[in-house]
Amino acid sequence: MKLCEFIRPSTLAEARKALRALGPKGMPLAGGTALHFMQGKAPVAAVDITRLGLSYIKQKGAFFEIGAATPLSDIQRYRGPRWAMHEICRRISTHQVRNVSTIGGNIARVFPWADLPVVLLAMNARMVIYSGKEKEMGADEYFSSQPARLFRDGELLTAVKIPVLKAHHGFGSVKASRNAAAFSLVTVAALLELDGAVIKSARVAAGSGIPFPQRLKAAEAALVGKEARAEVFRAAAAAGGGAAKWTGGEGMSADYIRRLAEVSIFDSLERAAEFARGRAE
């Protein structure tokens, strides 16, 4: 993709006005790390959103709010009570890339290897979209298909809201890749709520090894109402692995990726349960 012009608005309203005027010839730009993967030879104008105050992390009530232009390295370093986002961010690409790549850029257009959509689906996150006024959209709706569909008329993703983990809730994630800097072969994330030893609710999501990130509802159904133990997690992993359409990659067969996914589901559930057991308050 070839950039022919940089436009630097000072407000969200100016940015949206510029994007609407440019139409397909314009695109918002923050970190810019995805440009290499975007097809098309027609020159486009970049609307720089890095000066709009969209880089921050703060707790607001029952949510952690992350500005869309916040670098992944800031999310990796952040620590707060009942916060878990740093775990997946530290495993995305290299530190040099994480210093530049932003959370908004990672989810405004989803590439096959993306990790963050998986985590946000599992955590039931909410996305804030500006279209002259702000509106919120839940992760299930936002990732029901390619999110780029939501930004065709100059709309902008401004923030991501992550629920604060409550007592007896636990989160676990697994990313399987050939090396630390490689794209993921399979990414899995799980959020469990325990009532004593019993699983009260569950959200499990996967990506990278399937065409588009999705919740593994067969795995969730195999968990709710059951005791949080290895045999149950193994059955849920098999259910989730059997229900999804896995694809091969990097020389790996689809069957290998399915088996890798099932192991990853099991590991993420064990991590989530251990996290939940240690959080009585």
Q: How do residues 56-80 score in pLDDT, each as one tens digit?
A: 999 999 999 999 999 999 999 999 8
Outline where 99-168 has alpha helix (H): 103-108, 116-122, 139-142
Q: How confident is the model at residue 2 (pLDDT cuts 50, 70, 90)?
A: confident
One domain, residues 105 and 123: yes
Q: What is the CATH number of the domain that holds 89?
A: 3.30.465.10
Question: Any bridge partners for residue 250, and if so which?
Answer: none
pLDDT, tens digit, for every residue of 211-258? 999 999 999 999 999 999 999 999 999 999 999 999 987 789 999 999
Question: Based on the structure, what is the number of domains in the chain?
Answer: 3
Residues in the chain: 281
Q: Which of 279, 125, 124 is nearest to 201 (CA)?
A: 124
Query: How far apart (Å, rounded) are the C-alpha atoms in residues 66 and 56?
Result: 6
Q: Which domain holds residue 156?
A: 57-163
Is 0.95 surpassed by the pTM of this model? no
- Provide the pLDDT for residue 37: 65
One domain, residues 157 and 231: no
One domain, residues 174 and 242: yes
Tell me the average pLDDT of the chain.
Answer: 92
pLDDT, tens digit, for every residue of 172-189? 999 999 887 788 999 999
One domain, residues 153 and 220: no
pLDDT, tens digit, for every residue of 186-213? 999 999 999 999 999 999 999 999 999 9
Which of 137, 163, 189 is a domain's end point?
Answer: 163
